[in-house]
Chain A
């Protein structure tokens, strides 16, 4: 174990202005340089940024990509999300374990490798996938796993694992990734040709109020899943008097099965930044931050270069597009592995350098957000829509979709289908047609909106993708008839347990109880009464949890109980048979047998 050079840690703090708000950047830098943040480093950081050490430790212990233990020079993070499991994750994992000679979670004695599992890394359409330090490797097999380990042992450079570059900007010299866009169905709005600067020039020719009116006329609703009207959000923040206002782009897409923002950031980054700039103009904000999930850190140099190009072209900085007094710039904050930070108030806490626990609302970010200032947080896709609305006008935008759900929706489709990837479809398309497009006609169930959404069966396939029917942030995971749906429900439930912040009782203490009951049913030890308990407790968690994560954490169980009840009822058996299935006689006798030291005989 290498000792961490404390004067270097102090230098890292100084490079970030010893600013407590930059704690996440400091922690990431120390982690990356020393492969861990030792107790001593926590002390050093705390002293440098003048914060109690417990505040630093609280933050470090919160994020999956930060660790107090020393990790290897190369950390291999295997994504074990459901699409990866469907595509052979277990074999890949076993091959890595064998080739490295360490268990999952272990570090090799020579300090070269750490092997970990991780939640969805946004590559469900090319699963199984993994991150080697920041380098994504896709379509893994056990052979490929052995090759990766052999070549890393030889040269130690994750970048040299990339042999064939992906399509589009994945091949850009600043990305150089094997990731593929899999843009199966590009639509008219998000992936239409783009003329850099056009939307901003049109926006600054209007008044801020007119810009907000255009967004409202387009009936744009947030694309992250909740569907809040974007124009209204902007108006709230505009109406608050404040010296500073902030525009934040939420690029922390962590909903398992979602990868649409990855493709937008790769292929339409300028549209995202333009959307942020237009939002800033509309509400009078001077500063913008794009919160990029740690899993997409490989895109950072490319995105920074795009920002610089915009500055050079007067699309960022002072007097943007020649508009006197319109000054705005954007910085990128990289996260550190926490699904809950996709929740906007958790994201704001994370930006402020503290744990990503969600905040109480009210106050809402529009009145009191980042650094207690009015803040608008918008999804990547929402901001792309904004840019398009300014380019073509609200009327063109509304030609697509339904009255309640205008425009198009970007879907990330994975699982048991022939053409996994990205689909831009008009709102209102029936799920059945989506499945036909993706080659998933034989599906027996679809997880719509990721685990926080709904698991639906064939009876729901004629329902429509839109806010007032099957609402979704965009993830569709398709399951064929041979899949064991309850094992999928179980995996998603484990995901929520692991990713919850632990602030409030229902989610923290309730979800493990839900999982226990589910496992009992899966094992054939469940009773009909357990299903009632699952429904009641699930509903309590849904209604009493503090944030969106807790309020949706029971959804995999609740929605499958509602839409696919036979999956459960076929395993709980006949309630009238007079058997208490959950009672395990052998287990109950263990203590009694230990006293005489011999087994009792029983029938």
Chain B
């Protein structure tokens, strides 16, 4: 391994190894950069853009941008906070995220991020179009209304499970999560024990018959806001959330 180097995040020197992204190096130093599509076991995707930082003054996604010696990164600034807020608000305008009836409430990274970024009410008019729900699989439900197109399941199925159960079809606002069969999830080789089942940040890909096994009030983000584990110097977020 070659020499480690340091760079700066909001003026604080941060150590990094060659090959690390800004987000990984920040994580190691106990600095939380808000993110949604990033997952520590998966290749970066650069899709949600919530981890946008400025590196030497240029906006970029911290999850894909390599750290570099003496790079000057801005992370927690009013402008970046406003951009991230707008991005999360756009996701709520794009998909119908009805937290009150969602099994993921309290464990949902989108919801937790909205709280942490101070989003209390919608600013943008909703653009909800009814999207397909697929309940064909005996153990798994896909509710595309709640999907934020983060590609975590796509990557996990392909790279961790070696299955490629998921992919994207369409483009622009018509982009959708799709499955590796003519239409139904039941016709794919997805198994409820697949790694892909553990990575969805929202309530789009959920196990059947598991409603409220962990009660509201005891859920992942009920006591501490999202990111606080990283800021407390802990390692990355646990993969399996309901254990």
Interface on A for B, CB 8 Å cutoff? 39, 43, 52-55, 57-58, 61-62, 338, 340, 355, 360, 362, 497-506, 508-513, 516, 533, 536-537, 540, 543-546
Determine the distance from Cα of A509 to Cα of B167 in the docked complex, in whole angstroms.
19
CB proximity of A350 to chain B, nearest CB, Å:
12
A503-B46, A511-B173 are known; give 17 further A-B pairs, CB within 8 A.
A58-B169, A62-B170, A355-B171, A360-B61, A499-B171, A500-B173, A501-B172, A501-B175, A502-B149, A504-B46, A504-B48, A508-B94, A508-B172, A512-B127, A513-B125, A516-B127, A546-B61
CB-CB contacts below 8 Å: B13-72 with A: 44, 46-50, 52, 59, 61, 64-66
The reply to whether B167 and A544 contact each other, CB–CB distance below 8 Å, is no
CB proximity of B155 to chain A, nearest CB, Å:
13
Q: Which of B46, B65, B178, B181 contacts A58 (CB 8 A)?
A: B178
Which residues in A have their C-beta under 8 angstroms from that of B124? 513, 537
Q: Which of A52, A360, A498 contacts B172 (CB 8 A)?
A: A498
The reply to whether A502 and B173 contact each other, CB–CB distance below 8 Å, is yes
The reply to whether B48 and A512 contact each other, CB–CB distance below 8 Å, is no
B91 CB–A CB distance under 8 Å: yes
The reply to whether A355 and B168 contact each other, CB–CB distance below 8 Å, is yes
Interface on B for A, CB 8 Å cutoff? 44, 46-50, 52, 59, 61, 64-66, 82-83, 86-87, 90-91, 93-94, 123-125, 127, 148-149, 164-175, 178-182
Please judge, given known A-B contacts A54-B180, A503-B47, whether A62 and B86 are in contact too, CB under 8 Å. no
Determine the distance from Cα of A516 to Cα of B47 in the docked complex, in whole angstroms.
23
The reply to whether B49 and A505 contact each other, CB–CB distance below 8 Å, is yes
Please judge, given known A-B contacts A39-B182, A53-B181, A58-B168, whether A544 and B173 are in contact too, CB under 8 Å. no
Determine the distance from Cα of A340 to Cα of B172 in the docked complex, in whole angstroms.
11
The reply to whether A497 and B64 contact each other, CB–CB distance below 8 Å, is no
Which residues in A have their C-beta under 8 angstroms from that of B61? 360, 546
Which residues in A have their C-beta under 8 angstroms from that of B91? 505, 509
The reply to whether A544 and B52 contact each other, CB–CB distance below 8 Å, is yes
Q: Which of A52, A53, A360, A505 contacts B87 (CB 8 A)?
A: A505
Q: Which of B48, B165, B172, B179 contacts A505 (CB 8 A)?
A: B48
Determine the distance from Cα of A460 to Cα of B48 in the docked complex, in whole angstroms.
37
CB proximity of B144 to chain A, nearest CB, Å:
13
The reply to whether A57 and B175 contact each other, CB–CB distance below 8 Å, is no
The reply to whether B164 and A504 contact each other, CB–CB distance below 8 Å, is no
Determine the distance from Cα of A124 to Cα of B123 in the docked complex, in whole angstroms.
39
The reply to whether B47 and A505 contact each other, CB–CB distance below 8 Å, is yes
Report the 6 A-B pairs with minimum CB-CB distance, sorted nearest first: A502-B175, A54-B167, A509-B94, A509-B90, A61-B169, A54-B180
Please name 11 pairs of A and B residues whose Cβ atoms are closer than 8 Å in the assembled complex, sorted by A. A355-B168, A499-B171, A501-B171, A502-B149, A509-B91, A509-B127, A510-B86, A512-B173, A513-B125, A516-B125, A544-B87
Which residues in A have their C-beta under 8 angstroms from that of B123? 533
CB proximity of A543 to chain B, nearest CB, Å:
5
Which residues in A have their C-beta under 8 angstroms from that of B83? 540, 543-544
The reply to whether B90 and A505 contact each other, CB–CB distance below 8 Å, is yes
Which residues in A have their C-beta under 8 angstroms from that of B174? 502
The reply to whether B167 and A546 contact each other, CB–CB distance below 8 Å, is no
Which residues in B have their C-beta under 8 angstroms from that of A58? 167-169, 178
